[in-house]
Chains A and B, each alone.
Chain A
Amino acid sequence: MAFQLDPKIPSGPLEEKWTKHRFDMKLVNPANKRKFRIIVIGSGLAGGAAAASLGELGYNVDCFCFQDSSRRAHSIAAQGGINAAKNYPNDGDSIWRLFYDTIKGGDYRAREANVYRLAEVSNNIIDQCVAQGVPFAREYGGLLDNRSFGGAQVSRTFYARGQTGQQLLLGAYQSLQRQVARGSVTMHVRSEMLDVVVVDGHARGIIVRNLITGEITRHAGDAVLICSGGYGNVFYLSTNAMGSNVTAAMRAHKRGAGFANPCFTQIHPTCIPVSSEHQSKLTLMSESLRNDGRVWVPKKAGDNRAPNDIPEDERDYYLERRYPSFGNLVPRDVASRAAKERCDAGFGVGATKLAVYLDFKDAIERLGEDVIRARYGNLFQMYEKITAENPYKVPMRIFPAVHYTMGGLWVDYNLMTTVPGLFALGEANFSDHGANRLGASALMQGLADGYFVAPYTVGDYLARHGSLQAKDKVKTDHPAFDEAEKGVRDRLQKLMSIQGKQSVDSFHKKLGLLLWNHCGMGRTREGLEKALSEIPRLREEFWQDVRIPGEANEFNPELEKAGRVAEFFDFAETMCLDALNREESCGGHFREEHQTEEGEALRHDDEFAYAAVWEYKGEGQKPDLSKEKLEFENVKLTTRSYK
């Protein structure tokens, strides 16, 4: 049975929807808020902000993270900034323009109403963060500084040196710790959610493994919020943290939550290239570098000269050549594909030939080394630490890497999944970025969902469906908890009992490489079919031959990783199936069969202007596809052109 997908978009003009909806939502009386318990999974910008805000309102909150502190979620690694439609520079920005840019940047595969709300609350986020003490960059007059970022033609990005994500997360973390001290939030660190408990169709709790002791515990709640980030680590090599995983979202999916657009993955154009097979992760170099750096490769394929020995007229500044009006500032998906195209054609540089140059020579000549140092000093230092090359003297070598995932759990306008009482916030949901996310918009969405959307919509759900009386509430001795806990224990037991020969990482690397080759920057029917036939074989081998040392009832990082890789296997199939189904190219999803004569992405709006929502049917079973048709009432669908 397919899902009945009701996005619950409020009626009325776009700019009045959220205001109207806030009035239409039911409220929970202040004295009743403490009768509800809300479970939040993840403590990054979405989870941390939601847990803190719900605690402030007077709800009881249990927040879970696998890290040793809620301050360490991977939101912390975002470098570049956060967008808002403040229009402080007076350069023509507006809520409408931020909305429009986000819809267009997402290649018309996001829901208008959600995106407009995101743009609308973006300004509140900046106010909130400043009030919390986030030290955004400022002008000498004491006012906030803005920069242009990621292909935007206005300066709407607020930043805190190259550590914007860190500073925003610390703001949310501090608010969260304040609530922990007040007793409204209980923080469970080094705890991994391993299943959702659904009772009478509503999410009513979770099963958790304590990562230090291995103890399995049950937690009941009136609502469950999944704020566990994206699934980029399915590729093994990505800019995500080592622990980032899809387990919480996948468990929710297996309990009935639809998974939308899993094939929409963002490959970030400016990362440090892979150096060897021992590489464990990839490091991003902020997109802001493209404001001053020029991307090029040699005009001659296989040119082995050192970059500084290649004269100006033998260099191909291919982004400036192909996209004269945006040049080096084209959006991420376009820049990544262009780099791949050059490398595939044999023009790549460096030892692996899988890299292009990002050159600051002209900017240093124009502005001086000091200005470049002030702008990008920490990034240049990081690059030098990793590669042992000095980017002030030698052009950086960069290559695209998996960075962000636009797909995620399907949610309605209230951020609720297809399971009532189960919400998804931030990167874990699918709602705002369509097929491609613009730079500095991830932080905006995480905080918008956490501070300004979920506190209202979760309250509305509780007011309508929550039980005020203790006797009506689902308790942890309910049979559904027995069943879920048994499933978790059986799965852990099964993993521990295999005692095969190959390590967890070796499987993760094989899966990652398979997906990178067939479901990465360029996808074909043939490649995806190959991946879909390989994944079950590799999964079978995993379940036969993985070796996990130690015990289940102790601190066991190999067991943690094995559980996550097992979920990645199941997820990978749905991702490839989605990529196969989407017979068009849009944003981060590039099907080589669907391109223009110039090699640009070719959308098929008449057939594919929908969110593809998958329903889990069991391991090895083909998931069911439902479609949420995307209605565009306020923007006209055009071909994105950055020429």
Chain B
Amino acid sequence: MKITLHVWRQKNATSKGGMETYVVDGVSADMSFLEMLDMLNEQLIAEGKEPIAFDHDCREGICGTCSLMINGVAHGPDSGTTTCQLHMRSFQDGDAIHIEPWRSRAFPVIRDLVVDRSAFDRIIQAGGFISINAGGAQDANNLPIPKPDSDAAMDAAACIGCGACVASCPNGSAMLFVAAKIGHLAHLPQGQPERAMRARNMVAQMDAEGFGACSNHYECEAVCPKEIPVKFIAKMNRDFMKASLCSES
């Protein structure tokens, strides 16, 4: 296949970026999207040009490192798939593909297609945990958890923290990410003692990082590679409201 790529190039956080056009020939349908970019980079290096910087690591859809807006869609055209698991058989010979970084005020560009997602870590630091030190936990089976609760917690915990939800949201909202962590812990008995505080603090941090609010576009759910449902946002809102109304401080 012969593919024309229009790629966002930006030297560093402070410089101005722009789209540049490249042609890659000899792309096979069995290649992954990132292998196609590897091929382009090898070509650029051979021509004495600077390769395109993009984030990636596990290349099996679980670490959450890879990103990319592909033709305006976070992680590209396949639903429930990260960019690293997208294969070129989803495209046709002669296609033109536009590749941009995640776009959000809270995710500043580092270089080309690489962005800074450290805001997500700071949101977790605000309360996305259960306060327990290593050592001395009771026997695991002393705390039976109904399977439906455990399964619901796992549905939310499947979030890989890639940031596609933010990138695709017209408001740059991180609510699906935050709701996934709050929902994971709120469905478990271990998460109850800190439940109200967690919702309050994580939402406050989300706002402080400059993420927008949710206005029910549901673009996040559509692009989420782990298909985390937006119902967790409704649950988070309920937790947040309750925590705000019942707050003692």
Contacts and interface: CB of A to CB of B under 8 A. Distances in A.
A555 B12 contact: yes
A557 B44 CA distance: 14
Contacts of B117: 68-69
Given A175-B129, A278-B31, A163 B62 contact: yes
Interface stretch (B133-141, B213-221, B234-242): B133-141
B200 interface: no
A126 B56 CA distance: 31
B153 interface: yes
B146 A242 contact: no
B89 interface: yes
B28 A281 contact: no
Interface in A106-127: 124, 126-127
A138 B147 contact: yes
Interface residues of B, number: 78
A403 interface: no
A510 to B, nearest CB: 14
A167 B147 CA distance: 17
Interface stretch (B1-9, B33-41, B92-100, B164-172): B33-41
Interface of B is mostly: loop
A503 B42 contact: yes
Interface in A62-86: 67-72, 74, 76-77, 86
A175 B185 CA distance: 13
Nearest to B132: A131
A241 B58 contact: yes
Contacts of B110: 212, 555
A56 B39 contact: no
A88 B141 CA distance: 9
A452 B158 contact: no
A335 to B, nearest CB: 21
Interface stretch (A249-257, A336-344, A382-390, A529-537): A382-390
B70 interface: no
Contacts of A279: 35
A56 B28 CA distance: 51
Nearest to A71: B161
Contacts of A135: 150-151, 153-154, 157, 184, 188
Interface of B: 11-12, 28, 30-32, 34-35, 38-39, 42, 44-46, 48-51, 53, 55-65, 78, 80-81, 85, 87, 89, 110-111, 114, 116-118, 120-121, 124-126, 128-135, 137-141, 143-147, 150-151, 153-154, 157-158, 160-161, 184-185, 188, 190-191
Interface of A: 49, 52-53, 56, 67-72, 74, 76-77, 86, 88, 124, 126-133, 135-144, 160-161, 163, 165-167, 170, 173-175, 177-178, 180-181, 187, 189, 212, 239, 241-243, 275-276, 278-281, 283-284, 381-382, 385-386, 388, 451-452, 455, 503, 505-506, 547, 549-550, 554-555, 557-558
Given A76-B58, A283-B60, 12 more contacts: A76-B63, A131-B132, A135-B184, A142-B145, A142-B150, A174-B130, A177-B129, A241-B59, A242-B56, A242-B58, A280-B59, A386-B87
